[in-house]
Amino acid sequence: MGRIVVTEFISLDGVIEDPGGAEDYEHSGWSFEFERGEDGNKFKLDETLDSEALLLGRVTFEGFADAWPSREGEFADKFNNMPKYVVSSTIDGSQWNNSTVLEGDVAHAVSKLKQDQEGNIVVHGSAQLVQTLLEQGLVDELRLM
């Protein structure tokens, strides 16, 4: 059985959007202005290497699908090759290899995913999806940075 692990860069006032500054949002780049340090970088790498799948909302998925396929290295290789699940009614998932769109009721689809997928299913960003998962009691662990 899989575990839903939510990992977020989040400010004290609740901002999680576009921490790296790749998009044109009001608060773009807010998090990556600060150095994580060696321990923070190791934490994120270990977290990624320990992930068995990604679960993302549409907006985060589209941002990741634009960014990660062109990157190289251990972190990028893991992101690009592991299974990815996206909650959306407007895209087909073909933008990024090994991607599947979860259809129908989110709670039901994610519950089934937890039953079918082993290991950590990690959610990055995806604020609306995370809120739904929390409300439905589907999150097994929150990691806030």
* CA 33 – CA 4 distance, rounded (Å): 28
The DSSP call for residue 108 is H
* 81 CB-near residues (< 8 Å, 6+ apart): 97, 98
74-112 burial, b for 16+ CB within 10 Å, e for fewer? Answer: ebeebbbebbbbbbbeeeebeebeebebbeeebeebbee
Cα pseudo-dihedral 124, 134, 111, 52, rounded to 10:
30
Q: What is the C-alpha separation between 32 and 13, in angstroms, rounded?
A: 16
Express each pLDDT in 117-142 by its tens digit. 999 999 998 889 999 999 999 999 99
Which pTM value belongs to this model?
Answer: 0.86
Give me the residue label for tokens 């089934």.
Answer: 112
DSSP conformational letter for 9: -
Confidence of residue 21 (pLDDT cuts 50, 70, 90): very low
Task: Decide if pLDDT at 16 tops 70.
Answer: no
Cα gap 82→51, rounded to integer Å? 8
pLDDT by residue (tens digit) across 68-99?
Answer: 999 999 889 999 999 999 999 899 888 899 99
Task: Please report the pLDDT score of residue 33 as a whole number.
Answer: 61
Distance CA 26, CA 17 (A): 9
Mean pLDDT of 29-53: 78
